[in-house]
Structure 1
Amino acid sequence: MTTRLPVVILCGGKGTRLREETEFRPKPMILVGGRPLIWHIMKLYAHFGFTDFMLCLGYKGELIREYFFNYDWNHSDILLELGSKRVTRLRNSSRDEQNWRLWLIDTGQETFTGGRLKRLAPYLAESGSDLFFATYGDGVANIDIPSLLAFHLRHGKLATVTAVRPASRFGELGIEDGFVRHFQEKPQTSAGWINGGFFVLHRKVLDLIGGDETSFESEPLQQLSAMGELAVYCHEGFWQCMDTYRELELLNHLYSTGEVPWKVWE
């Protein structure tokens, strides 16, 4: 299986629950450990050799464009000759990101998640692969991407969704005979699997999407489920979305302590 499977990242939403940050930038550009969240997501896939990224832009998409257009300039050691404006990258500036390929696609300001995927149809058709990855631009995890892909191939369904069990917001009390026998601070929930947002999809899935006003999480996924074409890959490891300021603080706190469970790369 070629590693040139495209990785589609939905990064066009307005992120209204993080208005403190998203008033100035799109949610995937919010910094975690000094890097935009979308960079962390891309590093996960790139670690496993998947470096073709199709970014579904919308709200403040120009900031994502500018970040990647200026990536070399801002993240390399360079020699700048002021008179000629000649720029030379220095020897110690090599980075893993050199081989990344990015499609920066304007998918509209108000387009729903399904509609954003549908707008990528011609580019996905040109990729030469029937399959593609898809995820949201606001969550990190230590998912074993090759294992997810192998699981999808074994089951042969049109779609695979990664299920996760998020950490509880509250401490768990183990109660016996009227006494607390154990206390666990904010454990991972023992039930209640949810959509973790890391998908493997066949391009035929796009045929189930009506248009810009289609939410991928409603009609298409419900239809795939009814058809028996939606497999589920259960991820027991780390996963964390960033929907609220509390969750942003949590991710930055983990980064500051050196405990970065989603960082599978060196």
Structure 2
Amino acid sequence: MEYKNYCISDVLTVREAMKAIDSADPKIVFIVTEKKLIASLTDGDIRRYLLNGGQLTDLAIAASNKMPKYASSLDEAVSLYHEKNFVAIPIVDSFRNIEDIYIGKLYFNEQLADLNVPVVINAGGKGTRLEPYTKILPKPLIPVGELPIIEHIMQRFSEYGCSKFSMIVNYKKEMMKAYFGNDKQYDITWYDEQKPLGTGGGLCYLKGKINETFFFTNCDNLLLSNYESMLRFHRENHNVITMICAYKNIKIPYGVIEMGLNGSIEAMKEKPELSFLTNTGIYIVEPEVLDDIEYNVPIGFPDIIENERKKGKKVAIYPVSENEWLDMGQLSELEKMRVKLYGE
């Protein structure tokens, strides 16, 4: 990728900058006026800005680091990059105009943190949105490329040193157990639902079994975000539940009209883009939450979150980019997920 692709204008919004960061590797862009370096911007900068009340429609410069590191030569850039653990170093002239950007190789061999946190996977649903496939296979075993979705999820957690899995199962559970068989790669404890308990009710079986912070996920989502950052956010903010939410941007293919009194036109927007946060079905949870779940009573996990919130306990959102969230809950998304994981 040419260095100019890492440069964005100082008039872009946060939403527009997020799209530029999503297409960059590493995930950083530099804000420029003409060619002059003004600031740097990462997905972490944007996340902090939004968590502090910033809006997607604000100018990206408001979320940026206005004191970015830079070098005046390639040798200086190489030295800065390798000594200070930066992911990209702009090379500028005497007027701070960007002439190149050094992106070394260490970034691509990034060592992931060893979190060693238990993982609970809710894998008991029927997957009706994926019929007719789920008439034959349980949703977690539907293949995405070379592996079933559930193994993609488990491999991602394993990369962070998370090796203990609790699997809540119901529909076609024997096929699930047969697939993993005597596989020693994963340490799995199985919990059989006696009846369908929704997206949260099956957690009742883990009371007294988990006594530390754990990840809880549905079986049809894969997150490419940094799990260490999510866990750090959860712990530093003393949350009992952190809900991982993805920003979704949808462009309405019509002109949108806002109507006022007596049919008057209040506003007109031509093909506006809407942005909102959506629940990914992935959470970080404290074990005390399990004590509040009734035994064998169906409940959705969002309802559990609401119950905790009403009790005055701290629940929060950790936002991620929509490109970091892969959802195979619908047939139309299966191929998109495969391409994202394996390429064309």
TM, length-normalised to structure 2 = 0.57
**Structure number with higher relative contact order (C-alpha < 8 Å, ≥ 6 residues apart):** 1
TM, length-normalised to structure 1 = 0.73
The count of aligned residue pairs is: 219
What is the identity, as a one-letter code, of the residue corresponding to 1:150? R
CA contact (8 A) 2:119 2:215 kept: yes
Aligned partner (choices 236, 239, 243) of residue 325 of structure 2? 239
Runs of 4+, deviation exceeding 4 Å: 170-175
- Identical-pair percentage: 28
What is the identity, as a one-letter code, of the residue corresponding to 1:231? A
Distance in 2 (CA, whole Å) between partners of 1:71 and 1:167 is 40
Specify the SS of the correspondent of 2:307. Answer: helix
Are 1:35 and 2:147 counterparts?
yes
Aligned partner (choices 53, 67, 77) of residue 179 of structure 2? 67
Aligned partner (choices 15, 31, 41) of residue 127 of structure 2? 15
Are 1:130 and 2:241 counterparts?
no
Counterparts of residues 1-266 of structure 1 (less than 5 Å): 3-69=115-181, 71=183, 98=185, 100-124=186-210, 129-166=211-248, 168=250, 191-226=275-310, 227-236=312-321, 237-255=323-341, 257-258=343-344
Larger Rg: 2
CA contact (8 A) 2:240 2:286 kept: yes
Comparing 105-114 and 232-241, the one that deviates more: 105-114
Specify the SS of the correspondent of 1:191. Answer: strand
Distance in 2 (CA, whole Å) between partners of 1:10 and 1:211 is 16
Specify the SS of the correspondent of 1:146. Answer: helix
CA contact (8 A) 2:240 2:314 kept: yes
Distance in 1 (CA, whole Å) between partners of 2:168 and 2:194 is 9
Long gaps (5+) in structure 2: 1-112, 257-267
Please state how far the C-alpha of 1:249 moved relative to its aligned partner: 2.8
Against the structure 1 CA distance between its residues 130 and 255, is the aligned structure 2 distance closer, same or farther, given a 3 Å change threshold? closer
CA contact (8 A) 1:117 1:206 kept: yes
Specify the SS of the correspondent of 1:210. Answer: coil
CA contact (8 A) 2:196 2:298 kept: no
Please state how far the C-alpha of 1:207 moved relative to its aligned partner: 2.2
Against the structure 1 CA distance between its residues 24 and 166, is the aligned structure 2 distance closer, same or farther, given a 3 Å change threshold? farther
Please state how far the C-alpha of 1:148 moved relative to its aligned partner: 0.7
Specify the SS of the correspondent of 2:189. Answer: strand
